Amino acid sequence: MKNKTISVIGVPMHFGQGIGGVDLGPQALRHAGFIDMLKTLYTTVIDKGDIVPSTASGKEDGLQNGRAIVETTNEVRDQVYEMLTEGALPITLGGDHSIALGTLAGVVKHDPNVGVIWYDAHPDLNTDETSPSGNIHGMPLAAGLGIGHERLKSLFTGGFIKPENVVLIAARSIDEGEKKLIREHGIQTYTMPYINEKGMAAVMQEAIAYLRAKTNRVHISFDVDSLDAREVVGTGTRVAAGPTYRETELAFEMLAKSELITSIDVVEVNPLLDEQNKTAEIAVALTASLLGKTYL
């Protein structure tokens, strides 16, 4: 067992997108054994329960559910920052990916040089002006870089993530505005065609070396829709031609060995779309790999 404190907070929020059920994600993950898994790996595991999301609704300043999301992720930011200050490794359970507004704001407040791995089919680099859907779950990384709506950027009281400290892995559903931003800011991006060509092991070696040269603390935001659509049913924006479970397990085992990971999001599990909670179980098993669980 590792002598390290893990602190878990659930954020049962669905306001960042339009499909019901993702707010049940923290409950589904716990039911799938998330906390018990952590207790097999770490000496101290603290489950802080769930943040109660704001009940505000509707558009504010042109943002769909903007007030509710900002109010809720303000609390996420403060709790993540407090956990890091206490020396714990925070794990935030979503909920849709808009919860990462709070986690990113918390980790960069704690360490302005923090690195970020965005393991996701989508870069989430849209803004209110570029988003085809207007859904805020597609905007958190842009806001984390200081790009987009002022209301979302206001969450980042400790500064913004450095673009050169961001790595996108498994990206394959990229909107035109996101492509432009990636190019303009030189964001290190490993698309699925590149992963297919080079192999996941080589890509992860490259990504780890890239980040290690810049920082010794990395936040990973793990969206379950990163996996191939055939492998995960219980998520709202499935995308074909993604990494397999086996490839993701390898990627996460390599990240665990790197000892760079200092905070984690697990997002977009939707049990109402799932089959017998299988997607939640996959998320639990892969997070275990990310935290150092091995077969021997």
Binding residue ranges for Mn(2+): 97, 120, 122, 124, 223, 225
Name 276's Cβ contacts closer than 8 Å, sequence gap at least 6.
none
Task: Judge whether 141 and 104 are in contact, CB under 8 Å.
Answer: yes
What type of residue is 112? P
Distances (CA, A) of 283 to 41, 151, 206, 227, 269: 16, 31, 24, 10, 8
In degrees rounded to 5, what are phi and psi of residue 170? 80, 10
185 DSSP β-pair partners: none
Distance CA 181, CA 187 (A): 8
Name 284's Cβ contacts closer than 8 Å, sequence gap at least 6.
29, 32, 33, 34, 37
Distance CA 150, CA 75 (A): 18
Distance CA 286, CA 291 (A): 9
End-to-end CA distance of the chain: 14
What type of residue is 200? M
- Binding-site positions read 97, 120, 122, 124, 223, 225
* Residues annotated as catalytic (active site), given as ranges: 97, 120, 122, 124, 137, 223, 225, 268
